[in-house]
Amino acid sequence: MEREATAPLRAAPHATPAERAALGRAARRDAPRSSHAEFAPSPRRPDPPAVLEAQSADRVPELVPIRYARMTESPFRFYRGAAALMAADLAGTPVSGIRAQLCGDAHLLNFRLLASPERNLLFDINDFDETLPGPWEWDVKRLAASLVIAGRANSFTDRERAGIVRAAVRSYREAMARFAGMRNLEVWYARTDAERLRTVAAEQLGGRGRRNVDRALGKARSRDSRQAVGKLAEVVDGRLRIVADPPVVVPLTDLMPGVERETLHRDFRAMVAGYARSLASDRRSLLEDFALVDVARKVVGVGSVGTRCWIILLLGRDGGDPLLLQAKEAGPSVLAEHTGAGRGGNQGERVVTGQRLMQASSDIFLGWERADGVDGRRRDFYVRQLRDWKGIAEPESMVPKGMRAFGEVCGATLARAHARSGDRIAIAGYLGRGDVFDRAIAAFAESYADRNELDHRALVEAVASGRLPAGVPGDGANGSPGPGG
């Protein structure tokens, strides 16, 4: 019988490595590694459009049609926005009982290039909106299914897709075995840097692969606050202002016409001051040297569309010293219903805590705050830089060999993230040296990709019938001046 996701399996305090490895091997009795191939939707599985409608209930109404429109574009875009559906599906699958901090949405586009505080480019997980402790297998399955769905979009063969997934999962398994043999601090300091990416590209893709990586690295280094301000802002009457591009970018003054700019910005200054208290003292001191000059609402991603997301433009020593922060609404994780809500009541803090646990190195301005809106509701936010040397993969341009190499790096990166918070020795003991788990996950991923295509079709039909609205709405003004609006 499979172990319940809510009943974690733990080694005794200060158990020896041998005891922890034995615990992992013993978990195979309740959840054989081959059992992970299974996926059978529950007969009580909810209607996919209904799940999306329920999520939209607390979102900005005028933005919800954008979310549906983006999700109808392709099965892969649907998958990006359907983490809640998959969380419910995964809750019925076998688990070893060993838990770790989960990303909760570990699809392939949530692995990307990021800057460390030391200004080095690292490859890591980026999105932690759904992070919570839970069964480590769930993140592996989310990544694996995304590789199959992206492979189908590129018309890869069954054999090519299976090879990609098995390589990614093997990379996870072998990396976990390496981490199991490391000392605790060695695990904590482990990271995937730009040179490692070059090496992988050269080994698997030759000189052309290395040149592609170098181009991606150069592009990522150009994406910072100055570059973002060049695209998003302009000088108006001698002052830097965020440019309207409705409905994707709407300045706060356009959301609330007739209200003084100073009045609108007052609550955001308070929000920034409150959020600063979640930063380390040196970073808080740095932030205090910047002054807020403009705010806009920005539509981001696919699954996040409709949540309240603000970009906050600040200036330092002069107009050539910008800082763009993103304050993004944090609601309960889609995993919470199936794993428990975790510790603490602030959802922004939940996101930040999970990110700091899983990432090798986090944004220096990563923090959280709870803000009051004029509607009387308090909402949680997490804050980070809008852009800081970020580079994202382009799966639609990948050939099978390239996606395989990318999947391997993602698998090893996910293993490192899980090894920081979970029992890496027990997980490695469970996985073992053979490829039983690898082959099982490849079979699961194909089955889940089938399910995802049916769910995508259900959304397309719901839109076509008029049940759900989809498209770009008119430039409405359904906002509130406070950061909680």
Say whether both 190 and 101 belong to one domain: yes
H-only helix segments in 432-481: 436-464
Of 341, 365, 385, which marks where a domain is finished?
A: 385
Q: What is the DSSP letter of 114?
A: E
> Does 7 fall in a domain?
no
Say whether both 136 and 252 belong to one domain: no
Say whether both 358 and 417 belong to one domain: no
Say whether both 314 and 407 belong to one domain: no
Asked whether 383 and 365 are in contact (CB, 8 A), the reply is yes
Catalogue the E-assigned strands of 253-315: 291-298, 309-315
> Does 478 fall in a domain?
no
- Number of separate domains in the chain: 2
User: Quick one: pLDDT at residue 14?
Assistant: 85
CB count within 10 Å of CB 240 equals 16
Instruction: Give pLDDT tens digits for 384-402.
Output: 998 755 677 789 989 999 9
Of 364, 385, 406, which marks where a domain is finished?
A: 385
User: Quick one: pLDDT at residue 394?
Assistant: 86
> Does 12 fall in a domain?
no
Which residues 6+ apart lie within 8 Å of 35 measured at CB? 2, 94, 440
Say whether both 335 and 380 belong to one domain: yes
Cα–Cα distance for residue pair 187/138, rounded to 1 Å: 21
Look up the pTM and report it. Answer: 0.92
Domain that holds residue 236: 225-385
> Does 455 fall in a domain?
yes
Task: State whether residue 272 is helix, strand or coil.
Answer: helix
Say whether both 112 and 253 belong to one domain: no
> Does 106 fall in a domain?
yes
Say whether both 237 and 210 belong to one domain: no
Task: State whether residue 193 is helix, strand or coil.
Answer: strand
Cα–Cα distance for residue pair 187/424, rounded to 1 Å: 10
Task: State whether residue 386 is helix, strand or coil.
Answer: coil
Instruction: Give pLDDT tens digits for 87-96.
Output: 999 999 999 9
> Does 6 fall in a domain?
no
Nearest-CA neighbor of 140 among 113, 180, 100?
100
User: Quick one: pLDDT at residue 393?
Assistant: 78
Query: Beta 391-392 vs 367-372: how paired, if at all?
Result: unpaired
Q: Which residues on adjacent β-strands are paired with residue 233?
A: 242
Say whether both 374 and 397 belong to one domain: no
Say whether both 209 and 236 belong to one domain: no
Please, what are the averages of pLDDT over each run of 10 residues along the chain (485 residues)? 60 91 97 96 93 93 95 97 97 96 97 80 92 98 98 98 98 98 96 76 64 69 72 88 93 85 87 96 97 94 89 93 94 94 84 96 94 75 81 85 93 97 97 98 98 98 96 48 54
Position 201, amino acid: A
Say whether both 363 and 405 belong to one domain: no
Cα–Cα distance for residue pair 19/4, rounded to 1 Å: 22
Give residue for tokens 């590129």. 154
Of 340, 355, 385, which marks where a domain is finished?
A: 385
Residues 464/469/472/475 CA torsion (nearest 10 deg): 150
Cα–Cα distance for residue pair 272/351, rounded to 1 Å: 17
> Does 30 fall in a domain?
yes
User: Quick one: pLDDT at residue 260?
Assistant: 80
Q: At what angle do helices 400-421 and 136-153 cross, to 10 degrees?
A: 170
Q: Which residues on adjacent β-strands are paired with residue 383?
A: 327, 367
Q: What is the DSSP letter of 95?
A: -
Say whether both 60 and 189 belong to one domain: yes
Say whether both 65 and 50 belong to one domain: yes
Instruction: Give pLDDT tens digits for 398-429.
Output: 999 999 999 999 999 999 999 999 999 999 99
> Does 477 fall in a domain?
no
